[in-house]
Amino acid sequence: MAVLLIAAVVVFALGGGTSTSQLASTGADDIATNAALVVGHWGSYHAHVKLISGRGGGDVKYSSSTSVSVDSTKADKHVRLVTTGNGTFISANAAFYIDNPVLAQHAADRWLEVKDATGFLAPSASAPSVGAGCMLSTHGTLRKGGTTTVGGRGAIEIDDAGDMPGTTPGKLFVATDGTADLLRVEETGVTNGTAPVSLNLSAAAQQFLVLLYDSNIRSAQIEKECGCPTPTFEQFHKAMVDVVASDIAYQQGVNALPLDAGQRSVADGVVAAFRPLIANEMVQANAASFAQASPLWSVHEQLSQTAGDAASALHTALGVPPNPCSFDAPA
């Protein structure tokens, strides 16, 4: 059985700790709670993840919400996630996208920009406070083990039985030098009460994801060529012509999806929502000046929001899990 080791090298940590002498009279639950408080106040950290099976591992480096990097490999799956002041980007191989054949074919080994990131893709997911909650706040029955050293620092072992729903058997190693830093986590078993998650995408769902992918690639190209945020009028005119063509192609793609009656009703809502949006864009594309086009922009924003909400409803109706990726290759 694979064991997950996480050795956290603390660059900067805040919070009081518990000395070795105090630990002798401190219960396992209190030690874990105190460690969670300390981890939650870390300003930055570097965690190394190692699969004892030898089939993977990785690194997580966190300096702030705008400076995060994750590099992870498990068996044949490899993913990299980077957050900078310019946004969050992900690159993964085809094996990582095995449950999503559309991404496996079109997005493998490309850097994609993550829009409205959620779940593990969000920079906040690597924040020390989140890590404290994931690793230390949800646990089974705890008991104290012996003392050891981790990276040259004294530590006490806390064993987690993983006997509560949603918990995982494992070991925590907490520093005994007065900092109460979490130095290592070992998972020694499987999570209690959970099952592997797999996506079974219908033909319609796969076609819809291809449609989204193509639409976002077109949008990325338009954005690169528009001269934004200060385009010339010629650039603006070309961009709006291209936007109209892209949205018409998306609308036609939705019409062509092989849907059942219930899904078709939702898709009809998408097509209907795009009609006034495209009409607005056509007027802007035919404007003779910025002065003629600019009054239409606030309406365009509202129409775009309505069309986006309709598309999200179709996304849900097709049974596709929320996907935060925009599929835009960063410049």
- CA 58, 126, 134, 25 dihedral sign is positive
Mean pLDDT for the chain overall: 77
Over range 30-46, report the average pLDDT.
80
Residue 22 has a pLDDT of 63
116-161 confidence digits (pLDDT tens) = 555 555 666 667 766 666 666 678 899 998 899 888 888 899 998 8
More confident position, 102 or 204? 204
pLDDT at residue number 118: 52
Which of 82, 52, 51 is CA-nearest to residue 66? 82
Highest mean pLDDT, choosing among 20-34, 184-198, 238-252: 238-252
| pLDDT of residue 243 exceeding 90 | yes
Q: What is the mean pLDDT of residues 220-234?
A: 84
User: Cα separations (Å) of 156 from 6, 145, 301?
Assistant: 15, 7, 57
Q: Where are the beta strands (DSSP E) in 161-300?
A: 170-175, 182-187
Given pLDDT bands bounded at 50, 70 and 90, which one contains residue 210? confident
**CA diameter of the chain:** 80
Query: What's the pLDDT at 307?
Result: 92
Most confident of 56-65, 78-87, 245-254: 245-254
8 has a pLDDT exceeding 60? no
pLDDT at 321: 62
More confident residue, 76 or 262: 262
pLDDT at 258 over 90: yes
Taking residues 292-316, what's their average pLDDT?
Answer: 89
Q: Are 281 and 243 a contacting pair, CB within 8 Å?
A: yes
pLDDT for 248 equals 96
Distance CA 39, CA 31 (A): 12
Q: Is pLDDT of 299 > 60?
A: yes
Examine the pLDDT at 81 and tell me if it is beyond 80. Answer: yes
Give me the domains of the chain, ranges plus CATH numbers.
4-187 (2.50.20), 203-328 (1.20.1440)
Cα–Cα distance measured from residue 28 to residue 72, given in angstroms and rounded to the nearest whole number: 31
Q: Higher model confidence: residue 315 or residue 245?
A: 245
Write down the pLDDT at residue 222: 87
